Amino acid sequence: MENRVYNFNPGPATLPLSVLQTIQEELLNYKGEGLSILEMSHRSKTFDKIVDDAMDAVKKVMGFGDDYTVLFLQGGATAQFAAVPLNLALPGKPALYVNTGSWSKKAIAEAKKLSIEPTVIASSEDQNFNYIPTSFEIDPNASYLHITSNNTIFGTQWQEYPKTGDVPLVADMSSDLYCRRFDPNQFALIYAGAQKNAGPAGVTIVIVRNDLLERSHDDIPTILNYKIFAEKKSLYNTPNCFGIYVVGLVMQWILDQGGIDKVEAVNRKKAELLYQTLDSTDFYRPTARPDSRSIMNVTFRLPNEDLEKQFVAEAAKNGMVGLKGHRSVGGIRASIYNAMPLEGVEALVQFMKEFERKNG
């Protein structure tokens, strides 16, 4: 579409063009209702169907069964850093965490504020989070094990998820949910801010195994209580109606692409092309260890910071935006989420080669 740039922002991120066009078509008059989703009552039958369809699609894409419940919440993944220990931590049973970067550290810090002392069983902080630790022991008596499946800032991603036995596995999948196939039954709870692969900013997806809902007790603040929101079908209070609607559209877009396996194949092709380019030269230096590289957030450095600033500026002039690395680490970051077309990565690779030719 004319004048649209390739959006490599880490989040809010690029959305499928066809989804944006559907939103545009339905914005003023949703399916003949005479009003917009933005104006519609969340207690209406029409919105009831929107929620039901979105919940069903969230489960269908990845194959979650009837033993899982989908919640649409607010407060982003940040709210879930507190909600997880509040709902799942049991007296006398440790809450386990693997520390793989900034978001893991924030989750650990929130648990501490709640006087739920987390046990960090592994960390990659010794190498500035450039890898995913794979050697650790899981206490079989633990309340849960929490991991961050993908690290947007450091460009690392779990290649295989830990086998936890009877210990519930909890994952913050904000930046890679729906980027690839995995066994849903391996997880007790998944949460994700939707603004990467699943929808717009402002709505948070929680997929929780039903037996875990019994852990939610009455003393938990209502707005963070999984059981109450499950009973009320995410409608305890006014939800992010528009965000839920868009999540439903994005899930249908994934299905229309041929499903999660087709989407994963394209994602891996994009990542392979970009990493091959990085590995073929000394001018660009990937920051993540090869065995831990993310297929969603590709992070790298140039010979110096001045060249990095020049790279970002010139890329923007060439229609490629959002490539500046996180302020805490610097460098370059290309976020290549589901809706980033292969042509966008091909354009970036061509720009990278030309930039190196001129400045290498």
- Give yes or no: 48 in active site: no
pLDDT of res. 360? 86
pLDDT of res. 2? 66
Residue ranges of the chain assigned to CATH 3.40.640.10: 18-256
pLDDT of res. 297? 98
- Give yes or no: 172 in active site: yes
Residue 23 burial (CB < 10 Å; 0-12/13-18/19+)?
middle
- Give yes or no: 158 in active site: no
Say if residues 148 and 172 touch (Cβ distance below 8 Å): yes
Residue ranges of the chain assigned to CATH 3.90.1150.10: 259-359
Which is catalytic among the residues 59, 103, 253, 270?
Answer: 103
Which is catalytic among the residues 105, 158, 172, 253?
Answer: 172
- Third-level CATH fold of 18-256: Aspartate Aminotransferase; domain 2 (3.40.640)
Which is catalytic among the residues 59, 196, 227, 324?
Answer: 196
pLDDT of res. 142? 98
For residue 122, the SS3 value is strand
Please state the separation of Cα 197 from the chain's center in Å. Answer: 6
Considering the domain delimited by 259-359, tell me its CATH architecture.
Alpha-Beta Complex (3.90)
pLDDT digits (tens, 9 = 90+) for 48-90: 999 999 999 999 999 999 999 999 999 999 999 999 999 999 9
pLDDT of res. 115? 87
Residues in the chain: 360
Distance CA 64, CA 47 (A): 23
pLDDT of res. 3? 83
Q: Report pTM.
A: 0.96
> Which residue in 281, 286, 296 sits closest to 353, CA to CA?
281
Q: Which residue stretches of the chain have pLDDT < 70?
A: 1-2
